[in-house]
Structure 1
């Protein structure tokens, strides 16, 4: 635990390390178990608030003591803390991929370049985070959009703040101007159209996420750390208890807010930032009860390593899962292995780059070398790094571009079809054409069936087969759909009277879910409906787990049935895009016929 004299000496706020620990644990927990911690992505907001606070506090301190800010040294010092470990991680991952998992280099060229120039957030916006790419091949660098965002703020905010400080002499007016910028950023977020495309613009945008940094800046302007050097006195009887209210609200937000919820981006995220800001303010004094809580040794240790943990949590997960395959038989064991590997790599990166031991070792070694030797070693080292990046860039050829382009076209067409089926009045089909692959009885049955398909990418990939098989079908699909978000979609379908007598659920492509969560969805749909759960083929670690859950619930309820598409398609790799995950056009046709046959056999056949 940091001594108070040390805190005063360095203006160090140990409690904020505890907040960083909460942030990184939320992020890692969300990545591993989004169905358990749906709001874990909000950990990034905590990072941004703390960055805004420390940048502004440091700038204000320099202005008050020296009357100016040495911008060059200020920016160099802080950017090096981010850029060097990030760059080293990228080089290390590419080197590993070249040696052991070259198949994951596919389509990494633009990702590598955008990350090396710290513009990945805007690249993902421009690319609309192409869902076809993320489905067919996971990227170990997709989380680095946040590092790009952080670098942009470290470049922009100090310059803007110094400019405002020079132009505005009164501190209170400066506070109001920063607050106005904060409000403008919030308005940019809440007024933008919320759709799949605009969601990415809102989530990754430098302007729409600026309010988190600005909230931290406002806290720094209102409550500089120097105000809390005096003795701490409790003013109210239950003050210690009241101070824990923001902690409770913060934890509650992590379990309630959802990544694709309108509530989150219509003010919910800003409310979360206000909660964190309140927590920061009441934790500034080193003797306050919340400060003591966040200064617990385990939290401060994790918090100080949060950058290194953040850099490695996704690459480790992607590389490990791609190597191991389906881990659903022993998920807890594999999660523990991933966490242990993360702790080891995070500690290594923390010691080498954040604590500067890499530089210290190199300096100690180079002290014994001649000038010529130092220059040679530096050239060899630079050439090796450049060679790794160059080979990685060349190897990362767009080999799957044709498949991705085809899948993207299918997904877009299916999304349009889904919308049309929900906006078109259903009429009784009078002319029933024969469908090759179905008997006359199966065709007549499907043509007059009141049916609703609900799902994610798995449904969108085969959705264009549905109107032929089920002319009266309603299709409700969302690429990013999670099972724990299904309640809102079902309520909308009920309100619009578009929930058919038969419901087909095709979910699980975006993450695992619990038996209780799917059970709740089935009950919300209603026990008066005939519900069919289609097994998932997504090439992810949770595939076996969710298919088993669906099968178990089908055995539990008499109106719920399990369609084992996974087994049916297992001997037909030609029905899928690469990696046997999402059906291609041939597979979509076969899947549509299989579902139609299974529904008919279950409800009408022998």
Structure 2
């Protein structure tokens, strides 16, 4: 067994790549479609390093000093996140009251390490951000690491009394990792909101545990694999390339990530970490470069600061290039200040050192002068902390809040009302169902009054429903908050098979909550020869907005009986249409949306009549 763990700068290089991809993802960079996988890499690295520390202590002393271990973790994590949180509360109170309100609600969960479950239990949707996201949303990953640091050391202590503890460590850790992977796959549903799976400690712990397995293998050589260093170098290099490729090419909304993709990323990251510890190659030179090491050293700080800065400056939208540059500069700048003046001194024990000097008995004038200086600095620091705490409390208590949560509650209530109205409309249509008559002899007003359209939508069309029924009174609006395109196809299946709906056409108003996947072809086939209307989306905070709209327009051009409702173009340069999140609709926007539907349906139905007359 190694008595001391050798510092491996290449791991800092891997950290740097991970934080760069996370930063690029939140900046909506097109080359980082799944940059969020950088967080998975962080988990693996943390699991590896922490487990190595614990195993060394167990082997040297027969146990783990939990108090000392947890104090070290607190010194590493808490000062930086607390300073970031305090600054963001003060700044957002001045520049963005919605972000301030959400930050106040999430402050304690971010600082004390339960942010992930806080979001789950409050049902904060992965898709529906209710306006600007919280500046502390990214603290969910820190919460998972904190919970791992609390639980896993206790588990190793309990298992350390076994005779073959290395094998026991490996077996139990592997089983727990497998359970976590299975839970992610079982609990994930492509038709619903993946927040529970994405944020859950139980469904994300496998990444930390796979890192832990790599550390156990490194220390105990459980699997007797005789691979030379050069071969491990090849494995590590290939793994890095695959990792980068997955982060660049796979959509962050892909179901693959939940059905094993995250586990594959974890294994690849573990291969890289293991490879750089047992081999020397070009991979070590690249990951150990001074630039990547500098970024890696500050990766925790960069991760902490970048997200709230982006939220405050661009609200999660795609920003102009100069704003992106400014966001990067500020993120790195604040990270450097935090790393240099907060994290490093605290991690190196400056607080304990100062307490020791103050409590010591000076032997000479020089030591006495030093003691007085330290006491004065400590008093100033304590006064600053108390003043900041008081100011923070007063700020949270008395600065007026501005929340979008009431809007969300109203929208959820409206969605419930829409569902009841939909069921009522279906019953009415069945009760008065008569033979269909030709619409060619109808006036435009009569046609709109009698046409039977089925609108399948999400929370955007929840706001539109009342206006929709004004222009198409004999149609049906089936809308639900958070609905994805995949769910939309299943909704139409239910109308065909269970509800026996047989109307004149379908309006597929989805695409705000994720990519289109392969739904356009599927819904076109299921609708048959009836008109299918596809709506372009206005979702400026989402990186799939342009790709979805491009796919929709192309599909409409290439398929018969398929028509475009171009909401994206109609809503351009109309900020008065939108709520604070720049996606959901105010009454004026909802009315304009319904007008787009009316115009498109009337034009398409007249076109369909001409085709039928020729036949």
| Alpha-carbon offset, residue 89 of structure 1 | 0.3
Corresponding position: 1:11 with 2:11: no
The 2-side partners of 1:35 and 1:445 are apart by 42
| Alpha-carbon offset, residue 188 of structure 1 | 2.6
Query: Relative to structure 2, which stretch is displaced further, 160-169 or 201-210?
Result: 160-169
Aligned to 2:364: none
Among 69, 79, 90, the alignment partner of 1:74 is 69
Aligned to 1:3: none
1:128-527 counterparts in 2 under 5 A? 128-129=123-124, 134-167=129-162, 169-192=164-187, 194=189, 199-224=194-219, 241=234, 243-322=236-315, 331-356=320-345, 367=370, 369=372, 373-374=376-377, 376-394=379-397, 395=399, 397=401, 399-411=403-415, 430=434, 441-442=444-445, 444-445=447-448, 447-448=450-451, 453=456, 456-463=458-465, 466=468, 469=472, 479=482, 481=484, 504=507, 506=509, 509=512
**Whose Rg is larger?**
2
Query: Relative to structure 2, which stretch is displaced further, 122-131 or 260-269?
Result: 260-269
Report if the CA contact (8 A) 1:565-1:591 is conserved. no
| Alpha-carbon offset, residue 213 of structure 1 | 1.3
The 2-side partners of 1:500 and 1:36 are apart by 43
Aligned to 2:92: 97
- Aligned CA distance change for structure 1 residues 411 and 82 (closer, same or farther; 3 Å): farther
Report if the CA contact (8 A) 1:79-1:154 is conserved. no
- Aligned CA distance change for structure 1 residues 553 and 388 (closer, same or farther; 3 Å): farther
| Alpha-carbon offset, residue 318 of structure 1 | 0.8
Query: Relative to structure 2, which stretch is displaced further, 190-199 or 545-554?
Result: 545-554
- Aligned CA distance change for structure 1 residues 550 and 179 (closer, same or farther; 3 Å): closer
Report if the CA contact (8 A) 2:534-2:563 is conserved. yes
Aligned to 1:114: 109
Unpaired stretches in structure 2, ≥5 consecutive residues? 358-368, 437-441, 497-501, 611-615
Unpaired stretches in structure 1, ≥5 consecutive residues? 1-6, 433-438
Report if the CA contact (8 A) 2:126-2:195 is conserved. no
Report if the CA contact (8 A) 1:26-1:40 is conserved. yes
The 1-side partners of 2:4 and 2:162 are apart by 31
Report if the CA contact (8 A) 1:535-1:565 is conserved. yes
Report if the CA contact (8 A) 1:118-1:151 is conserved. yes
The 2-side partners of 1:92 and 1:344 are apart by 14
The alignment's TM-score, normalised by the length of structure 1, stands at 0.77
Query: Relative to structure 2, which stretch is displaced further, 310-319 or 346-355?
Result: 346-355
| Alpha-carbon offset, residue 326 of structure 1 | 7.6
Aligned to 2:366: none
Corresponding position: 1:592 with 2:585: no
Aligned to 2:362: none
| Alpha-carbon offset, residue 121 of structure 1 | 0.8
Cα RMSD of the aligned pairs, angstroms, is 4.8
The 2-side partners of 1:542 and 1:199 are apart by 18
The alignment's TM-score, normalised by the length of structure 2, stands at 0.76
Corresponding position: 1:83 with 2:78: yes
Aligned to 1:582: 584
Query: Relative to structure 2, which stretch is displaced further, 11-20 or 402-411?
Result: 402-411
| Alpha-carbon offset, residue 302 of structure 1 | 2.1
